[in-house]
Amino acid sequence: MAEARVHDIFVIGGGINGCGIARDAAGRGYSVALAEKGDFASGTSSGSTKLIHGGLRYLEYYEFRLVREALMEREILWAMAPHVIWPMRFVLPFQKGGIRPAWLIRLGLFIYDNLGGRKLLPATKTLDLRRDPAGKPLKPLFAKAFEYSDGWVDDARMVVLNARDAADRGAEIHNRTEVVNARREKGLWIIETRNIDSDERRTWQARMLVNAAGPWVDKVLAGVVGRNDAQNVRLVQGSHIVVRKKFSDPRAYFFQNPDNRIIFAIPYEQEFTLIGTTDRDFKGDPRDAVISEGEMDYLCNAASEYFAEPVRREDVVWTYSGVRPLFDDGASKAQEATRDYVLKLEAGEGTPPLLNVFGGKLTTYRRLAEHALEKIGDAIGGKGKPWTAGSHLPGGDFAVRDYSAQVSALLGRHAFLSRDHAERLVRCYGTRASDILGGAQGIADLGVHFGGTLYEAEVRYLIAHEWARTAQDVLWRRTKQGLHIAQADMAVLERYMADQAESGSSAAAR
């Protein structure tokens, strides 16, 4: 086993929290290494409803600190990554005799508008659904609605962009690398890892260990660190269905259900509608989470209560499930468990410290990382100042309202692209879209066409710069082209990725 230099910090977990902490730490001058057993965002971070939001319903559970922090983060994150984050308006239909009276909804939205220092996002307004286009796909019994602002995010891309930026700032970033053991020895953490693909073993040394393994955080404490008493998280499964487009309006819907839960219906990938999420306690390995029959029926029935055209099982083209690692606060219902995060530092005289990260959500990952760095500084000495609030994720160095201008500029440089293709490239890669296209003069210069708007040039870029190793990495996390290409094309991509791995061209991203 090769001995590595002593890193300041070793992070376990390549979800949004682990990658966010690694990025912030590397930017402050710490030496950082990160290991993710699967692919980046292959767990909870790509199983979300894909919202950058304050969490309107959390106000009912008096989570004011969490909601305020999340509301403040919306516009900060939008400015950091305007290619993968953008504002969205949400329509909340009101029904007389519903579980929440109109005055309570309006009060909640007033607090929502004013709690977090909103500057660019427009305020709430009331809609007459008999006149507004938002009423067209709904049942006629819905005559009134409230419209408010939140944001949308390509969650998996936000994770990999944090990993990419951490690596650009000097961090050693490894996916498909399992941490098999971590022990304290002579004032350091000794960490043993195994590459899932090659079975290569490596030993690392670090002054501090960060356990950001998401739903596996307790498993890491028990199986890797050797703590048998780890019972800190409550695993809650949230499932989503994707159907063919139910409405053409660019706004999303917020539906209130009689059981006091809520679901969203959101425009998705131009041709589809995303509906979710559910909340149910989960047992087992989070990697095995799949939608249940009951969840499928629940989402179809709940959406059908609002849409004039029912949502049926046969309409579903894709499903996905994520397991949220909520800090176990003893709440009786899964939907009532806190979405706030908890950071627990274990440090003693002469003992290398361990920071455990529990809970969290996409919207607050940057602030979670800042708070983690405060604890890291207390434990091993501070370096640098908070810096991420005014930063850009890779490709996000353009003004928040300049997406269309970026698309036009890309089309000006590469006139052979279709508008749909250019729009997707800018949504995925922002100003780095040109790095994929290089000097291409025509569509043939992009190489093999795998279907949709996915070409060999992009796949090569993802292998070289974003750690992609499998067709799943490319189709469902780096892009969402899995929704747009045929099974036969997927098989061609799978063979291509296997050939690239075998030929050695899929060496770890630099």
The set of long-range contacts for 181-188, using a CB threshold of 8 Å and a minimum separation of 24, is 181/224, 182/10, 182/12, 182/209, 182/224, 182/225, 183/225, 183/226, 184/351, 184/352, 187/350, 187/351, 187/352, 188/6, 188/352
Q: Which CATH superfamily is domain 2-44+156-232+339-390 in?
A: FAD/NAD(P)-binding domain (3.50.50.60)
Question: Domain 85-151+234-327's class?
Answer: alpha beta
Full-model pTM: 0.95
Which tens digits make up the pLDDT trace of 230-271? Answer: 668 899 999 999 999 999 999 999 999 988 899 999 999 999
Decide whether 2-44+156-232+339-390 matches 85-151+234-327 in CATH topology.
Answer: no
For 371-393, give the secondary structure using H, E and C.
Answer: HHHHHHHHHHCCCCCCCHHHCCC
Query: β-pairing, 280-281 with 233-244?
Result: antiparallel
DSSP three-state, residue 298: helix
| CA–CA gap between residue 265 and residue 423 (Å, rounded) | 22
pLDDT at res. 61: 78
Q: What is the largest CA-CA distance in the chain?
A: 72
Q: Which parts of the chain register pLDDT below 70?
A: 1-4, 228-231, 329-339, 504-510
For 416-432, give the secondary structure using H, E and C.
Answer: CCCHHHHHHHHHHHHHH
Q: How many CB atoms lie within 10 A of CB 229?
A: 8
| CA–CA gap between residue 320 and residue 482 (Å, rounded) | 13
**Length of the chain as a residue count:** 510
Q: How many CB atoms lie within 10 A of CB 330?
A: 8
Q: What residue ranges do the domains of the chain occupy?
A: 2-44+156-232+339-390, 85-151+234-327, 403-503
DSSP three-state, residue 61: helix
pLDDT at res. 349: 83
Which tens digits make up the pLDDT trace of 284-309? Answer: 999 999 999 999 999 999 999 999 99
Rg (alpha carbons) of the chain, rounded to whole number: 23
How far is residue 128 from each of residues 125, 264, 363, 497, measured CA to CA in Å?
Answer: 10, 20, 31, 52
| CA–CA gap between residue 337 and residue 392 (Å, rounded) | 32
The set of long-range contacts for 337-340, using a CB threshold of 8 Å and a minimum separation of 24, is 337/234, 337/236, 338/61, 338/63, 338/66, 339/55, 339/58, 339/63, 339/66, 340/63, 340/65, 340/66
Q: At what angle do helices 155-168 and 16-28 cross, to 10 degrees?
A: 30
Q: Report the first-to-last Cα separation within the chain, whole angstroms.
A: 22
pLDDT at res. 233: 86
Q: Which residues pair with 186 in a beta bridge?
A: none
Amino acid at 184: R
pLDDT at res. 228: 67
Query: 403-503: which CATH topology?
Result: Helicase, Ruva Protein; domain 3 (1.10.8)
pLDDT at res. 336: 61
